[in-house]
């Protein structure tokens, strides 16, 4: 575990108005590593990812990407965002573009890749995620699982240093969750650096090297997946996992 950190979060705080959402987060995602953030809704997981992608300004602390402070006001956020790939809970695909156009847009417009090359690379990415033959479809004609796989391809199209995956299976019908998680497992196996938020404990266990439990804007417990998920030390973690288990059983 001496790989150099790709993402480093140091003492980040963030409030929406008077409401504190992040109260001092420290976090390291090493190269080829995967960190899973778990915690109740509203614990600040999504906000943290959005802050790292500079979609949301932070109040205090710093975010570093490959050792460079990117939350400094002098840093151009557009260039930083190109080095990170973000996948959203609600897919957020561009509905007026086909699957392949969704994936090729950023390479063409943000990176100046030629149209033919961008499309060829996009088609290649889509094929890799089991979407060969669906390149010309609009998002509306794709299932939720397919849409999310297009979104993952879109996030990877700019060849980012790391992926930020925000609850990517939460908006999916249960039978479609598996195909999306499979894609992420493959990416992990190929050494993609990623920071994920999830409610799927099985997924966190499979993919993550480290699991962090977020509670009221603080990481109050962290460690190897087996340790945090099977023998949690903090009473809040225990309660959260118990509730998740009960909810699963109720289904």
Partner 1 sequence: MAAVAPEDRRAVRAAAERRRSRRGLAIAAVSTVVVVGGLAALLVTSPGWSSVKDTFFDPEAFKTSFPAVLKGFWLDVKIFVTVEIAVLILGLVVALVRTTGAPALFPLRAMAVVFTDVFRGVPTILVVYLVGFGVPALEISGLPTDPIVLGGIGLTLSYTAYVTEVYRAGIDSVHPSQRQAALAVGLTGGQALRFVVLPQAVRRVLPPLLNDFISLQKDVALVAILGPQEAFRVAQIDASSTFNYTPLLAAAALYLCVTIPLARVLDHMQRRSR
97 secondary structure, DSSP code: S
Rank residues 88 and 213 by Cβ distance to partner 1 and give the closer one. Answer: 88
Q: How far is the CB of 64 from partner 1 (least distance, A)?
A: 19
In angstroms, give the least distance from the CB of 156 to partner 1.
Answer: 10
Nearer to partner 1, 87 or 211 (CB): 87
Least distance from partner 1 to the Cβ atom of residue 123, Å: 17
Choice between 112 and 174, CB closer to partner 1: 112
Site for partner 1, rule CB under 8 A: 53, 55, 78-79, 81-82, 84-86, 88, 90, 92-96, 105-106, 109-111, 154-155, 157-158
By beta-carbon proximity to partner 1, the closer residue of 184 and 201 is 184
Instruction: Spell 54-80 as b/e; 16+ CB within 10 A means b.
Output: bebebeebebbbeeeebbeeeeeeeeb
Minimum distance between the CB of residue 89 and partner 1, rounded to whole angstroms?
A: 10
Identify which of residues 93 and 204 has a Cβ nearer to partner 1 in the complex.
93
The two tokens of residue 232 are 């949690």
Tokens matching residue 46: 């999504």
CB of 188 to partner 1, least distance (A): 21
Q: Which is nearer to partner 1, 21 or 87 (CB)?
A: 87
Q: Is 199 helix (H, G, I), strand (E, B) or coil?
A: coil
Q: In this structure, are residues 149 and 130 in contact, taking their beta carbons and an 8 Å threshold? A: yes
Rounded to a whole number of angstroms, the minimum distance from the CB of residue 5 to partner 1 is: 21
Q: Residue 21 in contact with residue 39, Cβ under 8 Å? A: no
- For tokens 């993952």, what's the residue? 152
> Quick check: 90 and 168 in contact, CB under 8 A?
no
């Amino acid at each position: 575990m001496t790989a150099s950190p790709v993402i480093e979060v140091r003492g980040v705080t963030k409030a929406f108005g008077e409401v504190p959402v992040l109260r001092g987060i420290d976090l390291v995602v090493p190269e080829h590593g995967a960190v899973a953030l778990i915690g109740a809704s509203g614990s600040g997981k999504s906000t943290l990812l959005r802050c790292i992608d500079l979609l949301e300004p932070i109040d205090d602390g710093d975010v570093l990407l490959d050792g460079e402070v990117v939350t400094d006001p002098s840093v151009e956020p557009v260039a930083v965002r190109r080095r990170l790939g973000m996948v959203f809970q609600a897919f957020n695909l561009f509905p007026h573009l086909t699957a392949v156009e969704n994936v090729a847009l950023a390479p063409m417009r943000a990176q100046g890749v030629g149209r033919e090359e961008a499309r060829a690379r996009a088609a290649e990415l889509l094929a890799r995620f089991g979407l060969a033959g669906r390149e010309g479809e609009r998002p509306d004609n794709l299932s939720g699982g397919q849409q999310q796989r297009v979104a993952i391809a879109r996030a990877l199209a700019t060849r980012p240093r790391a992926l930020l995956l925000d609850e990517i299976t939460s908006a999916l019908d249960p039978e479609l969750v598996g195909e999306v998680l499979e894609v992420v497992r493959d990416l992990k196996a190929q050494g993609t650096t990623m920071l994920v938020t999830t409610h799927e404990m099985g997924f966190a266990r499979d993919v993550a090297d480290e699991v962090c439990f977020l509670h009221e804007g603080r990481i109050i417990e962290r460690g190897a997946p087996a340790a945090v998920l099977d023998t949690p030390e903090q009473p809040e973690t225990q309660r959260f996992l118990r509730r998740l288990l009960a909810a699963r059983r109720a289904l």
